[in-house]
């Protein structure tokens, strides 16, 4: 008999909650505020209350539900979160606490990882069991899926691909303290930084000189034929392909799914990344395909649900 | 009841065969020649014959045996080898062919991968389920173990870490065609190449100038206090730590086991690599430990046996 389940993707501002069937239909979704006061102590009770309320409204009981999958913006090992700055959390045993509050099965993983599982289950990587998802946002997040399972790593740092060093000559430090990290180039922030640098270094005319430097504006002008904007997005794709080639030499995925805000650039991004990847990748893994994420901001809740299956 | 099993580590010159108990005791080991004539067509029949002969001698039957694990020097996906230059092989379905010849269960994986499994089971990584083995030989091989299972990758290129790009300024191509690959620095060949370069670039006195440049001689002189030799091995460890930091940002292992010929350098190598790793690694995975491989050339047959359990 078909069962139900909940996915809760916990972010620094809101918690997205999805109500699913076990076959992957998203029946309802809603958001609640993330209360980060007092070390974020209310976050899990608020999630529990929201789910209990929903179950009561629907007239379903714990027997009808597979459980709750939870994604959090921090490292998770064996269901325990080890520090989560955006939530105010130190070490929090999410699986134990939330299942205590709900009397249901709870699975917890990192948010980039659950997004990867979501895309694997119902998005750009559907049908694959070997996938890497790269989330191109303010930073670069990664989710590594091997044989259908997330690689959390032994310290919860599996898939922290944003901190692969891809440039020895960088002198500006990354947020992590090192220099030359993948996310210094292949994130929205990195794209804007590269644009500033290239605009300063060049005298070439560009509409970018009269525009606010955002990821969207840079990509839009690149597509419109602005030469310098095109050079900037080419440089972005080169860094992206280079980092992906490194990842492929470790886990050799079938598909690399590009998600996050920058992935709205669409096919030009995917083709550009694939082209650069072919330049840098080991010959044994050059058949890896690039796909765009399809679930947008819902990838996390899909992946949370998938962990329960 | 305890059962038996065979591990067959197929190399370009010999096939090492081990006869094990399922609890991990190596009861006997021997070698047969690898016959690479005619596209290596006799290799698997020779292995089958050797194992059949051993079973007859011991008076054991297929019922007593879990099967045969096979390691091969090439990419393997789903038990099928996809090209193996050293054996003369094109596409060979090892599991199907050998189990057809023996009427037993056969598992096949890449040789670097089975060595990693061997070290995980009974060697430097004993007790861990999250491990990366780096084999420092003529090239650099890698075996990635996640949750106790080998990451073969979707094209059999999982763990091909020797071809991670770690240097953008390299102009000499690697054997794979790219430039700046990990194995151009962190292999025995790479060590000798670095030594030649540093000897040419420096006027400093060094006993290396009157010695054959081999990995062993370079490490021995480094330990003896030869300043230039020490700079060379420091450079080697720096590259090794740098590559390992990249791998850790993808799969976040608990232990990195260093094997292969260069690992005979011992504790100085492991400490040097760990020190460089701490310099380059993402903070979330800095607790990864470095260990020396303990099974030497037997790691492969141990790992072959482990695949059967």
Q: Do A242 and B165 touch (CB under 8 A)?
A: yes
Chain A segment 55-114 residues within 8 A of B by beta carbon are: 75
Nearest chain A Cα to B153, which residue? Answer: A252
Structure confidence by residue, pLDDT tens digits, B1-21: 789 999 999 998 999 999 999
Question: What average pLDDT score do residues A68-86 get?
Answer: 89
Residue pLDDT, tens place only, A212-241: 999 999 999 999 999 999 999 999 999 999
Express each pLDDT in A14-70 by its tens digit.
999 999 999 999 999 999 999 999 999 999 999 999 999 999 999 999 999 999 999
CA distance A195 to A11: 29
**Nearest residue to B193 via CA among B171, B176, B178:** B171
CB atoms within 10 A of CB A189: 18
What's residue B219's pLDDT? 98
- For residue B128, give the chain A residue with the closest CA: A154
| DSSP annotation string for A188-235 | HHHHHHHHHHHHHH-----GGGGS---HHHHHHHHHTT-HHHHHHHHH
Chain B contact for A170, CB < 8 A?
no
Chain B CB contacts of A175 below 8 Å: none
Q: What is the mean pLDDT of residues B58-75?
A: 94
Give the pLDDT score at B105: 97
Largest CA distance in chain B: 67
Predicted confidence band at A82 (pLDDT cuts at 50, 70, 90)?
confident
What pLDDT was estimated at residue A53? Answer: 97
Of all residues in chain A, the one with the smallest CA distance to B254 is: A154
Q: Mean of the pLDDT values across residues A108-114?
A: 92
Picking from B284, B286, B290 by the largest number of A CB atoms within 10 A of its own CB, the best residue to mutate is B284
Q: Which residues of B touch A185 (CB under 8 A)?
A: none
> Would you call B260 helix, strand, or coil by DSSP?
coil
What residues does A133 pair with on adjacent strands?
Answer: A143, A257
- Is A118 a residue whose pLDDT tops 90? yes
Handedness of CA A95, A101, A105, A106 (dihedral sign): negative
* Integer angstrom CA distances of residue B57 from B9, B19, B50, B54, B221: 21, 13, 11, 5, 49
pLDDT single digits (tens) B262-305: 999 999 999 999 999 999 999 989 899 999 999 999 999 999 99
Contact call for B168 and A169, based on CB within 8 A? yes
Q: Which residues pair with B10 in a beta bridge?
A: B15
Residues in B closer than 8 angstroms to A153, CB to CB, are 130, 251-253, 285
Q: Tell me, what's the pLDDT at B86?
A: 85
> How far does the CA of residue B63 sit from the closest CA of chain A (Å)?
30
**The domain A127-293: what is its CATH number?**
3.30.420.40
Of the pLDDT bands very low, low, confident and very high (cuts 50, 70, 90), residue B156 is confident
CA neighbor of A72 nearest in space, from A112, A34, A106, A39: A112
Contact A280 B165 (CB under 8 A): yes
pLDDT at A252 over 90: yes
- Spatial separation of the C-alpha atoms in residues A78 and A89, rounded to whole Å: 17
CB contact under 8 A, B163 and A250: no
Q: Residues 174..213 of B with a Cβ closer than 8 Å to A: which?
A: 176-178
C-beta atoms of A280 and B153 within 8 A: no
Domain ranges, ordered by start, for chain A: 4-118+298-308, 127-293
The mean pLDDT of B109-137, rounded to a whole number, is 94
Is A160 within 8 Å of chain B by CB?
yes
| E strand spans, B11-139 | 14-21, 26-33, 65-72, 76-77, 80-84, 89-93, 106-110, 131-136
Buried/exposed code over B226-237 (b: 16+ C-beta within 10 A; e: otherwise): bebbbbbbebbb
pLDDT of residue A86: 85
Pairing of strands B89-93, A131-136: unpaired
Q: What is the pLDDT of residue A84?
A: 85
Give this complex's ipTM. Answer: 0.90
- By C-alpha distance, the chain B residue nearest A246 is B164
Q: From CA A6, how far away is CA B248, in angstroms rounded?
A: 32
Q: How far is A145 from chain B (nearest CA, A)?
A: 10
Q: Is the pLDDT of residue A1 over 80?
A: no
Compute CA distances A209 → A213, A222, B79, B204, whole Å.
9, 13, 56, 53
Question: B144: which chain A residues are within 8 Å (Cβ-Cβ)?
Answer: 250-251
- Would you place residue B75 in the very low, low, confident or very high pLDDT band (cuts 50, 70, 90)? confident
- Determine how many CB atoms are found less than 10 A away from the CB of residue B285: 27
Give residue A85's pLDDT: 83
* Residue A156, pLDDT score: 87
Sign of CA dihedral B56, B61, B62, B65: negative
Cβ neighbours for B298, distance < 8 A, ≥ 6 positions apart: B16, B18, B26, B29, B118
Render A279-305 in DSSP notation, one character per residue.
HHS-GGGTT-EEEE-SSGGGHHHHHHH
pLDDT of B239? 98
What's the pLDDT score for residue A77? 85
Do domains B4-118+298-308 and B127-293 share one topology? The answer is yes
B250·A254 Cβ contact <8 A: no
Give the model's pLDDT for residue B305.
97
Given this model, what pLDDT does residue A190 score?
Answer: 97
Alpha carbon separation from A106 to A99, B147, B186 (Å, rounded): 6, 20, 43
Residue A173 carries which DSSP code?
Answer: B
Nearest residue on chain B to A153, alpha-carbon basis:
B252
Burial of A191-230, coded b for 16+ CB within 10 Å and e otherwise, reads bbebbeebbeeeeeebebeeeebebebbbebbeeebebbb
Mutation target vs B (from A153, A175, A283; most B CBs, 10 A cutoff): A153
**Is B211 exposed, middle or buried (CB count within 10 Å of its CB: 0-12, 13-18, 19+)?**
middle
User: Contact A67/A107 with Cβ under 8 angstroms?
Assistant: yes
* C-alpha distances in Å from residue B218, one per residue of B210, B214, B234, B236, B265: 12, 6, 11, 11, 10
Task: Give the Cα separation of A15 and B213 in Å (integer).
Answer: 61
Please give the pLDDT value at position B136: 94
User: Does residue A242 contact residue A166 with C-beta atoms inside 8 Å?
Assistant: yes
Hey, which residues 135-154 in chain A have their CB within 8 Å of chain B?
Answer: 142, 144, 146-147, 149, 151-154
Q: Which two tokens stand for residue A276?
A: 């650069």
Q: Mean pLDDT across the stretch B241-247? A: 98
Just give the CATH number of A4-118+298-308: 3.30.420.40
SS3 call for B144: strand
Q: Of all helices (H) and strands (E), which one includes residue B98?
A: helix B94-102
pLDDT band, very low/low/confident/very high, at A173 (cuts 50, 70, 90)? very high
CA distances from B152 to A171, A236, B118, B170 (A): 36, 30, 15, 29
Q: How many CA atoms lie within 13 A of A8 on its CB side?
A: 27
- pLDDT band, very low/low/confident/very high, at A78 (cuts 50, 70, 90): confident
Q: Give me chain A's average pLDDT, please.
A: 95
Query: Beta A106-110 vs A65-72: how paired, if at all?
Result: parallel
Q: Which of residues 263-282 of A touch B (CB under 8 A)?
A: 280, 282
Residue B45: pLDDT over 80: yes
Q: Nearest CA of chain A to the CA of B254: how many Å?
A: 5
- The span from the CA of A141 to the CA of A186, in Å, is 10
The Cα angle at residue B126 between residues B123 and B130, in degrees rounded to 5? 115
């Amino acid at each position: 008999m078909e069962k139900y389940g909940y996915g809760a993707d916990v972010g620094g501002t809101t918690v997205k909650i999805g109500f699913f069937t076990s076959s992957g239909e998203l029946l309802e979704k809603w958001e609640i505020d993330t209360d980060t006061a007092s070390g974020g102590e209310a976050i899990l009770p608020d999630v529990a209350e929201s789910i209990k309320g929903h179950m009561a409204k629907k007239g379903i009981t714990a027997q009808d539900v597979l459980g709750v999958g939870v994604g959090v913006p921090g490292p998770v090992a064996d269901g325990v979160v080890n520090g989560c700055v955006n939530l105010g959390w130190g070490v929090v045993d999410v699986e134990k606490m939330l299942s205590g509050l709900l009397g249901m099965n709870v699975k917890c993983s990192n948010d980039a990882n659950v997004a990867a599982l979501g895309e694997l289950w119902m998005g750009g990587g559907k049908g694959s069991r070997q996938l890497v998802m790269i989330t191109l946002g303010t930073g670069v997040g990664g989710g590594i899926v091997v044989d259908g399972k997330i690689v959390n790593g032994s310290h919860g740092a599996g898939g922290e691909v944003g901190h692969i060093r891809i440039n020895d000559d960088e002198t500006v430090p990354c947020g992590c303290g090192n220099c030359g990290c993948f996310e210094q180039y292949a994130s929205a922030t990195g794209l804007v930084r590269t644009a500033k640098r290239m605009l300063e270094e060049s005298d070439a005319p560009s509409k970018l000189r009269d525009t606010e430097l955002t990821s969207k504006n840079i990509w839009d002008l690149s597509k419109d034929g602005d030469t310098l904007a095109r050079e900037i997005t080419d440089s972005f794709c080169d860094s992206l392909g280079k980092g992906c080639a490194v990842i492929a030499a470790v886990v050799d995925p079938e598909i690399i799914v590009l998600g996050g805000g920058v992935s709205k650039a669409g096919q030009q991004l995917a083709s550009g990344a694939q082209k650069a990847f072919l330049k840098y990748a080991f010959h044994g893994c050059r058949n890896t395909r690039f796909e765009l994420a399809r679930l947008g901001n819902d990838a996390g809740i899909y992946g949370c649900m998938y962990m329960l299956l």
